[in-house]
Amino acid sequence: MLNFFKKIFKRESTNEQPTDKNESFFLNYSDIKKLDFKYAVKRVLNQGKGDLLFEPFNYCDVEWMIANREKEFKQMLFKEYQVAKPIIFDMPKKPFAYRPISYLQPLDSILYQTLVDQTIKYTHINFSKQVYSNIINKITKPEVFDNPVSHWLKMRDSLRYQHAKGANFYFFCDISGYFENIKIQSLLKRMKHYVGRNEIAYLKLLSEVLKTWQYADAQGIVQPHNASSILGKIYLAQVDSAFRFLGKNYHRYVDEFHIMAKSEEDLREISIQLSRELRQLGLNLNISKSKSFKNDEILVELDKDKDFFDSVKYTREILKDFELSNVILTEKFEEILLDIKLGRDLDSRAFRYIIRKWQLDGNPKAINSCLEIFVKYVHLTVDITLYLRRFINEQPYEQLIFQTIFDFLNSAENIYPWQQVWFLALLFENKNQIVIDSQFLWDIVHDQNQDELSIALAYLLLAKNLESHELFLIENTYYNTSSTLIKRAILFCMSKFTKSYKKTFYEEKDNDDLLIKFTKFFLRETDFNIDKMSILNF
């Protein structure tokens, strides 16, 4: 009787705590109960457009589980979740220099965002006002960060203002391999200043996640991910504090430092101190990108392309004159094409800006140019892909885009898996059933040197191009792969079968891992149609 009353006053449920728990990630069910996955999944979904990689199924199975079976989702997560290793791509930045880009399994990506949001939800505004990047919104907002472009422009305006007040020396630099060189233990130590006492337990969970994904021994955090951007901001907060004495002459944007001074001697002393502060964190300045300017050189640097961006913004947002705006965009675009023709440096920032505007407007003017330059300018792949996606289903452009991209993928010039996955996703976006050589796709799925994401995308393309009776060829491979990503792709492919057949195929098996269980659950309970599926729908 006494135990009965204890349960009433403690509001305990006799069946809420999952039983038969194997060795798992979470120690206490109470920890997972407090995590709000509904907000996190929206925030992860929202990051797509600015990302350098994508989730081919847009988290639809996990999102559905969280929305419709949240309690069951948490119980299964508590009992069975294990952190998975990421798939790492090498994204070319310039010749023979690469940036690691990580694909996280959906559960990992959502949990990562959830843990970071939970740890900083009460302290997300406790950063220096001189840091203009990654201004963190409340975790209830789908956008993790406030408008990045507007804050970049505010920083540029602040630099101009300081120059007008007499700061005639300007130093710009960034960090070499920033995210790859973050020391995990140092990061966790600094995070304790941002974590409430009721959230301190989540640091241990976050530590396990980061160590699983590390690039080297206790070093490096995955990118791109909004959760990593938050952690990166915390990591440099110590440096921001060290330069409080500079006031508004100190500016930071992610890993870029913009510092103003009234004398060359002051600037030299500040740059030395900055190097020392960064070394304490195991970081170094990128010498090749460090620049200094003085007097009139400063405005030349700060006002580079300012008239162009301001003019476009004014004509579009104030005058609402899109025709005049397009004239300005076209003139700048032709300047860029001339630079390319003459072998000059490509103005990547302006190029991206233009094709993003034309993507929104449905202006096809850049199609031919994008198809001509994507091989050389690999770092523009994401923006070019999203621009071409706007026209992949429109006449008279779809055949040109589809054939050009397919020919590239089937050529010796296709050497970067990161670029390949974006272009495979682009081909998938065509809804008009342009016939693709199935042998090309079979070659990908049978090539052991191919990455898992490319194989998964090849299966999805096969499912769109094969007749139902031919899909049995895909089904047979399901049992021969250990890759969760590839298994998940095949499960989505099988949605083209009859309901009775799918019911059997989607039955849960004892050896299914957690994500596969969620995928099967989703496909059993919904009328998912792969022919209506979109990968690049952001």
Cβ neighbours of 352 (radius 10 Å): 16
pLDDT of residue 5: 39
Give mean pLDDT, residues 513-518: 96
Lowest mean pLDDT among 72-76, 296-300, 373-377: 296-300
Comparing 113 with 248, the larger pLDDT belongs to: 113
pLDDT of residue 23: 67
pLDDT of residue 241: 93
pLDDT of residue 43: 94
363: left (phi over 0), alpha (psi -120 to 50) or beta: beta
Q: How do residues 432-490 score in pLDDT, each as one tens digit?
A: 878 888 999 999 999 999 999 999 999 999 998 887 777 788 888 898 899 999 999 99
Q: 178 pairs with which residues across the strands?
A: none
Residue 90: partners with Cβ closer than 8 Å, 6 or more residues away: 98, 99, 100, 101, 416, 417, 418
pLDDT of residue 537: 82
Residue 437: partners with Cβ closer than 8 Å, 6 or more residues away: 406, 410
* pLDDT exceeds cutoff 60 at 304: yes
Give mean pLDDT, residues 152-181: 93
pLDDT of residue 9: 37
DSSP string, 159-214: HHHHHHTT--EEEEEEBTTTGGG-BHHHHHHHHTTT--TTTTHHHHHHHHHHHHH-
Q: How do residues 354-411 score in pLDDT, each as one tens digit?
A: 999 999 999 999 999 999 999 999 999 999 999 999 999 999 999 999 999 999 999 9
Comparing 48 with 413, the larger pLDDT belongs to: 413
> What pTM did the predictor assign?
0.91
Q: How do residues 183-239 score in pLDDT, each as one tens digit?
A: 999 999 999 888 877 888 899 999 999 999 999 888 999 999 999 999 999 999 999
Alpha carbon separation from 76 to 69, 71, 230 (Å, rounded): 10, 9, 28
* pLDDT exceeds cutoff 80 at 24: no
* pLDDT exceeds cutoff 60 at 13: no
- Averaged pLDDT score across all residues of the chain: 91
Residue indicated by tokens 């990047």? 133
* pLDDT exceeds cutoff 70 at 17: no
Nearest of 84, 86, 83 to residue 103 by alpha carbon: 86
Q: How is residue 268 annotated by DSSP?
A: H
At 217 the three-state DSSP class reads coil
pLDDT of residue 99: 93
CA–CA gap between residue 200 and residue 416 (Å, rounded): 41
